[in-house]
Every structure is written in structure tokens, then in C-alpha cells.
């Protein structure tokens, strides 16, 4: 009987401590601040439109999107930039849905109606954020959020199973151990009665 208990406890110990640890390789906050300081354009504005430009690789769900930002305030600008309050600016960004596991910096989380402060760099095809989602500061965050790429049903089921399976296994194991202890106690009291 001791061997069974030892085996059960060892399996429980292994199961509890075998959870994988995922470490995100995010940029150093100092480096993010440096990149934001180096960005030639810093503006505050309201997101007026957000449209799909291109679907990316199907094996890794992402989209190239373009938002129109109505400028509320220009904080920092290059000499050639002539837009002012009330003007609109097009900003291209890569969208990755929140249900995709991602390592590194923040994802771009943009929705029509958001008011954002954003640090921008001029690239070959227009203005882009200087440090992905790390260069966006939400001043007004529209709720509820909507995913541009809905989570597939199979992914939802897999997510639910992965989230609740350890808890379910531990609960069943706890009930099993409790039942075994009750059974052992009954057997022990029956033996004492003889």
C-alpha cells in the first residue's frame, strides 16, 4: 500500500512541477524609450478608419492593416511634415490577433474610436509605428474589442482544454486520493473489529 501512495505522490509531484515555463523576449524598456525618442514623429489622434490591406501567411495569422488617424496634437515632427490638428494621416501596421501566442514586444491593438499617442517612423511605404505596439499609448480604449481575425473553433477548444486540464486532473487526483484514504481507514477499522 505504501508503494501505491509513494507512486501516486511522485506522479502528482512530477505533474505539478512539469509545467512548461515560457519566457517572452521583450525589448529592454530603455531600448524602447530610446527608439521612441529617436522617432521623428509623435502625435496624438483619434482612429477614424482601420482597413485590411493584405492577408499574410495562413500558417501564422496576421494582416497588414492601415488606419487613418485624425490628428489632435503634433508633439514632435520632422521639418517636412506639414499636417496639423484636424488633418488625417495614414499609418500602416501589422496586426496579430490576441489569441496567437507571441513572444517579444506588444502587439498593435487598434480599433476605430481609440485615441492614441503614437511614435512614428517614415518607411518606404509610409508612416509606421517606431516600436510596434510598444510605441502606442492608448488615451481612450474602446470596449468591447473585436478581433479582425476570429479565433478558429478548434483553437478555442484546444485553449479551453489546455486551460482547464491541469485543474481537472488535479481535482480527479484529489478525489481519488481522498477515496483511497477513506477506503484504507474503513479497512483498518474493520481489521481492528476482528
Domain of residue 106, CATH code: 2.40.50
In a domain, 24, yes or no: no
In order along its 194 residues, the chain shows pLDDT tens digits of 667 767 776 677 676 655 444 444 678 889 999 999 999 999 999 999 999 999 887 777 889 999 999 999 999 999 999 999 999 999 999 999 888 877 777 889 999 999 999 999 999 889 999 998 999 999 999 999 888 888 878 777 877 777 888 888 888 888 888 888 888 888 888 887 66
Beta-bridge mates of residue 116: 45, 138
What is the pLDDT at residue 66? 96
Residues 82 and 130 in one domain: yes
Residues 98 and 61 in one domain: yes
Rounded CA-CA distance 185/94 in Å is: 62
What is the pLDDT at residue 130? 93
In a domain, 172, yes or no: yes
Burial of 10 (0-12, 13-18, 19+ CB in 10 A): exposed
Residues 92 and 179 in one domain: no
Residues 77 and 130 in one domain: yes
Number of structural domains in the chain: 2
Residues 82 and 46 in one domain: yes
Residues 43 and 61 in one domain: yes
What is the pLDDT at residue 1? 64
What is the pLDDT at residue 20? 47
What is the pLDDT at residue 18? 55
In a domain, 128, yes or no: yes
Rounded CA-CA distance 85/70 in Å is: 8
Structural domain boundaries, residue 62:
29-151
Q: With H, G, I as helix, E, B as strand and everything else as coil, classify residue 15.
A: helix
Amino acid at each position: 500500500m505504501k508503494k501505491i501512495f509513494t507512486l501516486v505522490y511522485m506522479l502528482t509531484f512530477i505533474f505539478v512541477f512539469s509545467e512548461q515555463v515560457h519566457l517572452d523576449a521583450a525589448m529592454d524598456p530603455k531600448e524602447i524609450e530610446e527608439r521612441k525618442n529617436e522617432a521623428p514623429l509623435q502625435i496624438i489622434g483619434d482612429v477614424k478608419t482601420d482597413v485590411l490591406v493584405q492577408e499574410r501567411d495562413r500558417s501564422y495569422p496576421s494582416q497588414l492593416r492601415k488606419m487613418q488617424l485624425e490628428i489632435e496634437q503634433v508633439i514632435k515632427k520632422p521639418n517636412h511634415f506639414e499636417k496639423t490638428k484636424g488633418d488625417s494621416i495614414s499609418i500602416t501596421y501589422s496586426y496579430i490577433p490576441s489569441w496567437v501566442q507571441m513572444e517579444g514586444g506588444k502587439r498593435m491593438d487598434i480599433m476605430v474610436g481609440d485615441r492614441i499617442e503614437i511614435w512614428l517612423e517614415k518607411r518606404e511605404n509610409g508612416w509606421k509605428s517606431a516600436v510596434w505596439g510598444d510605441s502606442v499609448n492608448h488615451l481612450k480604449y474602446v470596449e468591447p474589442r473585436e478581433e479582425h481575425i476570429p479565433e478558429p473553433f478548434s483553437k478555442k477548444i484546444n485553449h479551453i482544454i489546455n486551460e482547464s486540464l491541469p485543474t481537472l486532473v488535479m481535482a480527479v487526483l484529489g478525489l481519488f486520493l481522498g477515496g483511497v484514504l477513506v477506503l484504507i481507514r474503513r479497512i483498518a477499522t474493520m481489521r481492528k473489529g476482528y
